[in-house]
Amino acid sequence: MRTVREVIVVEGRYDKNTLKQAVNATVVETGGFGVFNDKERLALLRRLAEERGLILLTDSDGAGFVIRNFLKGAIPRERLKQAYIPDVYGKERRKTAPGREGKLGVEGMPSEVLVQALERAGATFEDGEAVTARSAITKADLYELGLSGRPDSGAKRAALLQRLGLPEHMTANALLEALNILYSREEFFDKN
């Protein structure tokens, strides 16, 4: 089992339990939407971000993105990495019915998918592995490809998100951030 240096932030205890089976890491829960009004938890997250850095790993549903966007605004950007799980439809074993959007959350992901998400986010593993710096994809690149700033950009982004197995709720800025985690500029243009 690989050890992750950064603190990983998830939504709830079932996400934490699943992640602890995949990697050896410090995992902190937001308590779902409770983080919005919990000043002590937010102060703890800021301190952990300053000391070790954070990796944010929320579900790929709308609620997960609300929490993700809140924390993106509350934690210094240079201390926060984004890990994304793919949209996979189904229900977790412990539940009697799927969630509102019908997607599996972090707790429903296999260990290898979670480790891959952390690797793509640039997690620092105890063995020293980390994603190396690459030439970045820019907003201008997204515009050039018709993925932003055009009447049909939303549909093109949705098709790209689906093709890449990324969550459907990503904005153009979140897509840009995820693409830069997943690909170098050259790799992305080779695929498109």
Q: What digits encode the pLDDT tens for the residues 114-153?
A: 999 999 999 999 875 554 546 889 999 999 999 999 999 9
Q: Please tell me the pTM assigned to this model.
A: 0.73
CATH fold, domain 7-121, is Dna Topoisomerase Vi A Subunit; Chain: A, domain 2 (3.40.1360)
* CB within 8 Å of 98: residues ≥ 6 apart: 89, 90, 91
pLDDT tens, residue by residue, 65-83:
999 999 999 999 999 999 9
Instruction: Specify the pLDDT at position 136.
Output: 84
Q: Which of 62-71, 75-84, 93-102, 160-169 has the lowest mean pLDDT?
A: 160-169
47 touches 54 (CB < 8 A): no
80 touches 49 (CB < 8 A): yes
Beta bridge partners of 7: 54
21 touches 110 (CB < 8 A): no
Side-by-side strand order, sheet with 54-56: 27-29, 7-10, 54-56, 80-82
- Map out the domains of the chain as residue ranges: 7-121, 139-191
Report residue 81: phi and psi, to 5°: -110, 150
pLDDT tens, residue by residue, 1-55:
899 999 999 999 999 999 999 999 999 999 999 999 988 888 889 989 998 999 9
